[in-house]
Amino acid sequence: MKIAILYICTGKYNIFWKDFYLSCEKYFITDIEKEYFVFTDADIIDFEENKNIHKIYQNDLGWPDNTLMRYEMFLKQKELILKTDYTFFFNANALFIKMISKDEFLPDDTERFTAAIHPGFYKYSIDKFPYERNSGSLAFINFDDGHYYFQGAINGGLTKDFVQALELMNSNIKTDKENGIVAIWHDESHWNKFLSDKPYIKKLSSSYIYPENLDLPFEKIILMRDKNKYGGHNNLRGEKLKFKGVVVKIIKKIIKKIIN
């Protein structure tokens, strides 16, 4: 039996990889072999020589495509992923801090997918959930269709079923983009849409996506590290650098016109 771990660390997000891998090996279902599919533009990553790590070159697509197009990234490794029994994606800043058994995390005989309740909406009613409300989007959810709001930081399940989900969500995202639509919470919106009519879900509490910077009434099992400690979302996405580059180009053009 094998578990595929899908992990994206393009741009500055590669700073999270080392601790993610070490903590995952130490705490996450240690009695089942794991294979890591690491999508990165880094020249070198820690432990890349290990046999259970597949380093896959991935261009930094910028925001929001680094998250929105993750399903397309994963499907490029479809043949290898299908050789495993279970497949799970984790956000780059995830850190395992307590032992996790297969019984508590893997879908059982009546389930196919694993999803985690969003820590920001665990105590709210459905009408407060940030579902995609644009009926033109394939991620659209009616108020009557949803039951839970899941965070995109963890998604997965039985490999065969999850790959089918990846194919459907990727197709829907592409269709939306062709129609000039981007769902409000990107891939997370499409994940919630996909699960909205599925009864066979292993529902994890917010213990498994516990934000480091919050105090919630849950046990801390998987910590989502505070990105502000690493320069914040914009810095990690490289948005400041891109803006700086644009400013530099504009200044150069102005100088060139003055000189000429």
Q: Each residue of 163-209: pLDDT tens digit?
A: 999 999 999 999 999 999 999 999 999 999 999 999 999 999 999 99
User: Do 128 and 20 share a structural domain?
Assistant: yes
Number of folded domains in the chain? 2
Residue 129 belongs to some domain of the structure: yes
- At 256 the pLDDT is 44
List 25, 35, 48, 188, catalytic entry: 188
Q: What is the mean pLDDT of residues 43-54?
A: 97
User: Do 249 and 182 share a structural domain?
Assistant: no
User: Do 189 and 100 share a structural domain?
Assistant: yes
User: Do 159 and 95 share a structural domain?
Assistant: yes
User: Do 220 and 133 share a structural domain?
Assistant: yes
Higher-confidence residue: 203 or 61? 203
Element (H, E) at 26: helix 17-27
- At 169 the pLDDT is 97
- At 258 the pLDDT is 42
Tokens of 224: 């989502």
Residue 29 belongs to some domain of the structure: yes
- Residues of the chain above pLDDT 90, percent: 79
> What is the CATH number for 15?
3.90.550.10
How does the average pLDDT of the chain come out, rounded?
Answer: 90
Q: What is the mean pLDDT of residues 229-258?
A: 53
Higher-confidence residue: 238 or 189? 189
Q: Provide the edge-to-edge strand list for the sheet that holds 210-211.
A: 94-96, 222-224, 210-211
User: Do 182 and 260 share a structural domain?
Assistant: no
- At 235 the pLDDT is 57
Torsion of CA 213, 205, 12, 88, to 10 degrees: 170
Single out the residue of 2, 123, 108, 85 nearest to residue 51, CA to CA.
2
Can you tell me the distance from the alpha carbon of 221 to that of 99, in angstroms, rounded to the nearest whole number? 8
> pLDDT band at residue 218, thresholds of 50, 70 and 90?
very high
Residue 245 belongs to some domain of the structure: yes
Higher-confidence residue: 65 or 117? 117
pLDDT higher than threshold 70 for residue 233: no
Q: What is the mean pLDDT of residues 229-247?
A: 55
- Residues of the chain above pLDDT 70, percent: 88
User: Do 124 and 55 share a structural domain?
Assistant: yes
User: Do 162 and 122 share a structural domain?
Assistant: yes
pLDDT higher than threshold 90 for residue 237: no
- At 86 the pLDDT is 98
Residue 231 belongs to some domain of the structure: no
User: Do 252 and 156 share a structural domain?
Assistant: no
- At 242 the pLDDT is 52
Residue 52 belongs to some domain of the structure: yes
Residue 217 belongs to some domain of the structure: yes
Domain that holds residue 260: 236-260
> pLDDT band at residue 248, thresholds of 50, 70 and 90?
very low
Q: What is the mean pLDDT of residues 38-58?
A: 97
Annotated catalytic residue 49? no
User: Do 165 and 114 share a structural domain?
Assistant: yes
Q: CB–CB of 231/60 below 8 Å?
A: no
Q: CB–CB of 224/94 below 8 Å?
A: yes
pLDDT higher than threshold 70 for residue 131: yes
User: Do 96 and 26 share a structural domain?
Assistant: yes
Q: Each residue of 142-170: pLDDT tens digit?
A: 877 778 999 999 999 999 999 999 999 99
User: Do 75 and 114 share a structural domain?
Assistant: yes
Residue 147 belongs to some domain of the structure: yes
Residue 230 belongs to some domain of the structure: no
- At 260 the pLDDT is 43
Q: CB–CB of 66/237 below 8 Å?
A: yes
